């Protein structure tokens, strides 16, 4: 069954499972305990801390383990705001940040007296450093948040340039690197990042564990209080087995990046995927950075395994339904909340209209993707598009796809 949804969650790597099993098979021990089993659990945690730090160019002491990327982003945003005086709680976030950042910023505005400005992006989803700089308030801006690469369209951002601007204004830079930590990778020290959010399951590690890497000297207020674990920044008993899996996945991802073969293979698979989709739907449009198939010269290429495309006249929810019946796993460019499909804030910020955003599908590849999966997915898309061929019936200016008729004319 073709799995093309790595941006949502990558399959568990064999290396991660192998690191976890010894800790799962023996009696669970608290890494803070002083007996032998506790010390063994602590050793596994500290080994993983070194592996995660090495992946992103940080010191092991800067790695703070969390329950995932969402908690890491919340700790970064809220902790940085609360560490500043009430008069200096200004935030600047790119308009295409993950909701874990944007919603945390909204909390800061509603409950912590902060002010939030959104930095606009261009049609490819890239932040313009000059336009972002115009929003900064030297001495008052506490935090700037710009992700390494976007989780919906794959576009990379000029992180180092933004870091320099943030530091000149006296602010710290939060970089959500949940998608980019493996490929193309990030260099926390080299790019001047102060706070870096990670999630294990995007790297092929287990779900439920992540990290906020906190650059030495960065002021941060903890959100959880209790046992004082993780240098007092994140209290709570550490899940040693999950953390060991995180570390092993990070080490495997770093090894892949070092050779360059993984990025080359993913780029080739993505190009094959796009070529097949274009053959099936010549009118499709690529969202975000167009990728290497558009020629050289475009900066910040972003994620090598992610392809976001719009199928004009076909709703993503209908296409995904048919693809799921063929066993193809992928995602839409919109999120579901309270049973209603809402347009992707990322695509809207890039200039897509709500209807266009609802016609977007995201395909994402990773460490175990194969050519056979790509070809099977392309064949399934071609069959689905035949079913969804626009017809004359339907709402004005928008043909009703046959999939809706197949469901008995279900209302939208």
Give the C-alpha separation, 196 to 180, whole Å.
11
What single DSSP character describes residue 88? G
pTM of the entire predicted model = 0.91
Q: Nearest CA to 63 among 214, 190, 202?
A: 214
SS3 408: coil
The pLDDT of 319-334, averaged and rounded, is: 91
**Parallel, antiparallel, or unpaired: how do β-strands 90-94 and 141-145 relate?**
parallel
Supply φ then ψ for residue 105, to 5 degrees. Answer: -65, -40
What single DSSP character describes residue 105? H
How many Cα atoms occupy the beta-carbon half-sphere of 92 within 13 Å?
29
Q: Where are the domains of the chain?
A: 14-255, 261-406
Q: DSSP characters for 135-199?
A: T--TTTEEEEE--SB-TTT--B--HHHHHHHHHHTT-EEEEE-TTTTTTT---HHHHT-SEEEEE
pLDDT in the model for residue 137: 98
Sign, CA torsion 395/397/403/405: positive
In which band, very low, low, confident or very high, does the pLDDT at 223 lie, cut at 50, 70 and 90? very high
The pLDDT of 130-157, averaged and rounded, is: 97
pLDDT beyond 50 at 393? no
Encode pLDDT of 234-290 as tens digits: 999 999 999 999 999 999 999 999 999 999 999 999 999 999 999 999 999 999 976
> DSSP alpha helices (H): ranges in 34-94?
36-56, 69-82
pLDDT beyond 60 at 396? no
> Can 336 be counted among the known catalytic residues?
yes
Q: Nearest CA to 93 among 307, 345, 356?
A: 345
Torsion from C-alpha of 262, 264, 268, 270, nearest 10 degrees: 60
CATH number listed for the domain at residues 14-255: 3.40.640.10
Asked, colleague to colleague, whether 14-255 and 261-406 share their fold, the answer is no
Domain 261-406 has CATH 3.90.1150.10: yes
> To which residue do tokens 């935090």 refer?
143
Torsion from C-alpha of 21, 206, 177, 114, nearest 10 degrees: -120
What single DSSP character describes residue 96? T
Encode pLDDT of 295-317 as tens digits: 434 445 689 999 999 999 999 99
Q: Please identify which of the residues 93, 175, 330, 336 carries the catalytic annotation.
A: 336
* 150 burial via Cβ count (<10 Å: 0-12, 13-18, 19+): buried
Radius of gyration of the chain (CA): 22
Query: What value does the mean pLDDT of the chain take?
Result: 90
pLDDT in the model for residue 297: 42
Instruction: Please state, as a whole number, how many other Cβ atoms lie within 10 Å of the Cβ of residue 328.
Output: 24
114 in Cβ contact with 144 (< 8 Å):
no
Among 33-42, 90-99, 158-167, which stretch is predicted with the lowest mean pLDDT? 33-42
pLDDT in the model for residue 339: 45
């Amino acid at each position: 069954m073709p799995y093309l949804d790595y941006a949502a969650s990558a399959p568990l790597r064999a290396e991660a499972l192998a690191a976890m099993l010894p800790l799962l098979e023996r009696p669970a021990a608290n890494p803070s305990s002083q007996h032998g089993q506790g010390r063994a659990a602590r050793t596994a945690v500290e080994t993983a801390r070194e592996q995660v730090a090495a992946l992103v160019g940080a010191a092991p002491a800067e790695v703070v383990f969390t329950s995932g990327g969402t908690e890491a982003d919340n700790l970064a945003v809220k902790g940085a705001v609360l560490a500043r005086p009430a008069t200096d709680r200004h935030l600047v976030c790119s308009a295409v940040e993950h909701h874990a950042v944007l919603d945390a910023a909204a909390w800061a505005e509603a409950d912590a007296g902060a002010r939030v400005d959104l930095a606009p992006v261009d049609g490819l989803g890239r932040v313009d450093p000059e336009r972002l700089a115009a929003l900064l308030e030297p001495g008052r801006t506490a935090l700037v948040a710009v992700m390494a690469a976007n989780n919906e369209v794959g576009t990379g951002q000029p992180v180092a340039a933004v870091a320099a601007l943030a530091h000149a204004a006296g602010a710290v830079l939060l970089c959500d690197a949940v998608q980019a930590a493996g490929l193309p990778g990030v260099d926390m020290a080299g790019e001047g990042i102060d706070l870096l959010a990670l999630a294990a399951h995007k790297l092929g590690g287990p779900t439920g564990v992540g990290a906020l890497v906190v650059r030495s000297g960065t002021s941060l207020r903890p959100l959880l209080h209790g046992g004082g674990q993780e240098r007092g920044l994140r209290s709570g008993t550490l899940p040693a087995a999950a953390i060991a899996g995180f570390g092993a996945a990070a080490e495997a991802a770093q090894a892949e990046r070092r050779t360059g073969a993984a990025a080359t293979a993913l780029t080739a698979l993505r190009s094959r995927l796009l070529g097949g989709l274009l053959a099936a739907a010549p009118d499709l449009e690529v969202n975000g950075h167009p990728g290497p198939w558009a020629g050289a010269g475009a900066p910040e290429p972003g994620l090598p395994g992610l392809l976001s495309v719009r199928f004009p006249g076909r709703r993503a929810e209908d296409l995904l339904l048919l693809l799921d019946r063929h066993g193809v796993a992928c995602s839409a460019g919109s999120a579901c909340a309270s049973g209603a499909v809402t347009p992707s804030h990322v695509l809207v910020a890039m200039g897509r209209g709500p209807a266009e955003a609802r016609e977007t599908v995201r395909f994402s590849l990773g460490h175990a993707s194969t050519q056979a999966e790509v070809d099977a997915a392309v064949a399934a898309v071609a069959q689905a598009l035949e079913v969804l061929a626009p017809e004359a019936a339907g709402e004005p200016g928008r043909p009703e796809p046959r999939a809706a008729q197949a469901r008995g004319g279900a209302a939208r």
